[in-house]
Structure 1
Amino acid sequence: MPRKPSERYPLNWSDIALDIKQSVNWRCSKCGLQCIRPDDDTSKLERSLRMALTLTVHHRNFLPEDNRRENLCALCTACHLSFHTRRRGNVSPGQLSLF
């Protein structure tokens, strides 16, 4: 039986992802969009804008078990979605869609 996507990530994934996001100063590596930092006040932003400005970490080879730094890049939600819609990966487009 295949493992669930959430089981494919290491226990320290949050730390790994935070390190990648900080290394690019919370800016999308593809389009350059400045994304929300953890200490930013987002209380006045609509949910759809918060989602659009969320920085994610993408596995270039689409394997969440491969967390080598050269396999990871920080992407805004839209750019991350574009990678996953062009090539089937470990995350379905519905999981990344903008609400």
Structure 2
Amino acid sequence: MSNSRYPSNWKEIANAVKESVGWRCQKCDKLCLKPGEETSHLTKSQRRAYTLQVHHWNFNPADNRRENLAPLCSGCHLYYHRFGRGNISPGQLELELKFKI
């Protein structure tokens, strides 16, 4: 049994969020890889760069309300974690994300 703060159905939640945006990063609009997509022509680094992840605006993986989740490519996801935007509300971040692009 895992002591993860993510729910047992996290994979389904994350896939639904990614599918809802057509597998595009919501910050840079990069089209990312879908499950089962052919990737043998890509390097490991390229596959990682085109991996869509789901970011929790409030940095709480137990809070999986749709407004708290943002599909981001790995580079953009790292950006939000690196620059510690946890002190901004999800609504403010969503507006910031939409208008900074």
Q: TM-score, normalised by structure 2?
A: 0.80
Structure 1 consecutive aligned stretches of length 4 or more whose deviation exceeds 6 Å = none
Q: What is the aligned length?
A: 85
CA distance in 2, matches of 1:19, 1:42: 21
CA distance in 2, matches of 1:84, 1:75: 12
CA apart distance, 1:88: 7.4
What amino acid sits opposite 2:76 in the alignment? C
Long gaps (5+) in structure 2: 87-101
CA apart distance, 1:46: 0.2
CA distance in 1, matches of 2:30, 2:83: 20
What is the root-mean-square deviation of aligned Cα atoms in Å? Answer: 1.6
Question: Does 1:10 find its partner at 2:4?
Answer: no
Aligned residues: percent identity?
54
Deviation string 1:7-61 (CA, Å, 9 cap, x unpaired) is 1000000000000000000000010000001131001110000000000000000
Question: Does 1:47 find its partner at 2:48?
Answer: no
Q: TM-score, normalised by structure 1?
A: 0.81
2:29 to 10, 28, 32: 32
Matched ranges for 1:76-87 at <5 A: 76-87=73-84
- State the secondary structure of the residue aligned to 1:8: coil
Long gaps (5+) in structure 1: 90-99
